[in-house]
Structure 1
């Protein structure tokens, strides 16, 4: 029987301890041992190394100079917020949002650039992203030399390990090595990640899945994305691939395969309305769904029918995902939630009909109107997670 790789086990234990301190700190070594199920000897060795590297700090509870307090003060541990800084970004067709965070994930600065970048040449998009990163870093009172990592969250199918964007509605081209392009421009290690994965980790670190080790997130934006968290880790495909949920096949029809995007994608919902002058302008500015919401509230029959159809398709998809993974929580985010009650009621009804009786009540559905800043903070969490996993020395992360 093959034994586990000792180096891998040490790295996993180190990550578990550091993440526990981030989540629960200030926390004692005994409590860390209880939560991680590691021995007190192992925890002491790991925390000693983390203290040497400056990644965590000690805090003393109690005061030996106070006669009313008996016994030695408790030594508590917490993450050192100044150990590293990262940049996270949400790159969408009509806007870019950047945040700078410290090692704990606290936002130090944020910047929104409402500029349409989709279908621009790669060099132009890279210029705009570089400018946004640099401006946000300056706003935080820092320089790029102070930044340890950058993570750019993009829609589409992305290889996390290589930074290749296989396809994205933002790019004209396919198979773009965007991570290398931006790493060279910024002279800073740059990660390119699926925006759905970024918002999933954002909810796990800061949002509505902080209490969970396993969950599923579905993003309903210009593209339909999927994030699966298992054992506190994002599940990725071969090569670290993200998942384009819009490509999921729902069945067959006269025109061939019926995919989720053809029923619930933004273009499918907007339909012929996109050719309308005012509507087309709203879509171009990234406000198509907001415009749809107003028309639905004004009882536009065609858009109400489109919202109902989309809700039914998403509800069936969620039921299939729950059948596969049985997560305790499914979080839905994205602009399509603006479709309102016709969409949400149809989704709930379809889900209730499709979910197997044995799984009823297993998964909680949570609808979350996450801000763009939060999506960018999720991208920062991806960068931080990479740093948390990295071997460190007293001079910084060994990336």
Structure 2
């Protein structure tokens, strides 16, 4: 009989304990055992190690109702916010957002730069990202030597385990090892992740999915992304591969193949207006969807048709996802929500028509206009997630070979 890898089990148990303390702390060891379903012996051993490494702190709570009460006060455990700091980055076509977070995931500093990144040379993008990270770290009153890890969220297809950005609408080349590039520049371990995975974890920790360990997130931005959380863990493909929802097949015929991006991508929605100079400038500056919302309110027939078609296509895609995974909640985020009621109504009605009657009441659809800072905070959560699983010494996370 094949047994589990002991190191993997230790990492899983360690993460489980730290995450339980993060979510429910201050919390006692007994409560950790009950919530995590780990034995009290395992919890005691792990928390002792975490205390030695300075990752958690103790808090003694007596019986405050009766000052004369005898007995030992309860020892409660909580995360040490100063145990580590990480940087999360959201890269979009026309802006970058940076967040420095402490060990609890709380934001220490933020920075937003309205810079056109789309199709710039890789070296230029790396320069911009490096400068933004350094500035955000300085704004937090820190230096790069105080940062344990950096995570950069990209739209597109990202191979988390290897650090490859396989394809992204904002990069001019495929298969870019951006993690290695930034690790060497910063001298800090750097991770790349799909931006849809990052915002999924942000909602799991702080947002619309914080009460759930199973959920699906659909991101409707410059590209269309998917995040699937099961048992509190992100589902990734081979090599940590992310999912490009825009590549989902919506139909095919003798003449052409139709993918979701061709119906519901930002470019598909705005294509009939992009030739107008003023609208083209709005798109280039990341204001395309906001201007589209104004034009829809003014009853622009072409945009109303495009928004309706996009909503119907996304509704069918979401119904297919719910049919496959049966999540209790689907969180839908992204700039396409700016299209307003016409888009949302078309999506909801299409979803209701496409979902099988047997599971019609399984999933709640939740719409959220998540700010850019939350996407960057999600990237910081990805970095923290890996730190929570990592072996530590008393001086910080154990060193790992850089990519």
TM-score (norm 1): 0.98
Residue 273 of structure 1 aligns to a residue in which SS? Answer: coil
Distance 1:21 1:124 in 2: 41
Give the drift of 1:254: 5.6
Give the drift of 1:277: 1.0
Distance 2:41 2:387 in 1: 24
Q: Structure 1 residue 232 and structure 2 residue 232: aligned?
A: yes
Distance 1:235 1:69 in 2: 50
Residue 307 of structure 1 aligns to a residue in which SS? Answer: helix
Could you give the per-residue CA deviations for residues 244-284 of structure 1, whole angstroms, max 9, x where no partner exists? 10000011146411100000000110022011011000001
Could you give the per-residue CA deviations for residues 123-161 of structure 1, whole angstroms, max 9, x where no partner exists? 111000000000000000000000000000010111101
Distance 2:164 2:11 in 1: 26
Give the drift of 1:41: 1.3
Give the drift of 1:229: 0.6
Give the drift of 1:68: 2.9
The number of aligned residues is 398
2:204: which partner in 1? 204
Give the drift of 1:180: 0.4
Residue 150 of structure 2 aligns to a residue in which SS? Answer: strand
Give the drift of 1:70: 3.3
Runs of 5+ in structure 2 lacking a partner? none
2:389: which partner in 1? 389
Give 4+ residue runs of structure 1 displaced > 6 Å after superposition: none
1:335: which partner in 2? 335
Give the drift of 1:67: 3.8
Deviates further, 133-142 or 40-49: 40-49
Could you give the per-residue CA deviations for residues 11-58 of structure 1, whole angstroms, max 9, x where no partner exists? 211110111001100000110010011111111111111101110000
Distance 2:181 2:7 in 1: 32
Q: Structure 1 residue 126 and structure 2 residue 113: aligned?
A: no
1:282: which partner in 2? 282
Q: Structure 1 residue 319 and structure 2 residue 282: aligned?
A: no
Give the drift of 1:71: 2.3
Q: Structure 1 residue 368 and structure 2 residue 389: aligned?
A: no
Could you give the per-residue CA deviations for residues 40-92 of structure 1, whole angstroms, max 9, x where no partner exists? 1111111111101110000011279x743332111000000000000001010
TM-score (norm 2): 0.97
2:213: which partner in 1? 213
CA RMSD of aligned residues (A): 1.1
- What does 1:28-39 align with in structure 2 at a 5 Å threshold? 28-39=28-39
Runs of 5+ in structure 1 lacking a partner? none
Q: Structure 1 residue 7 and structure 2 residue 7: aligned?
A: yes
- Say whether the 8 Å CA contact 2:272–2:302 is kept in structure 1: no
Distance 1:39 1:172 in 2: 51
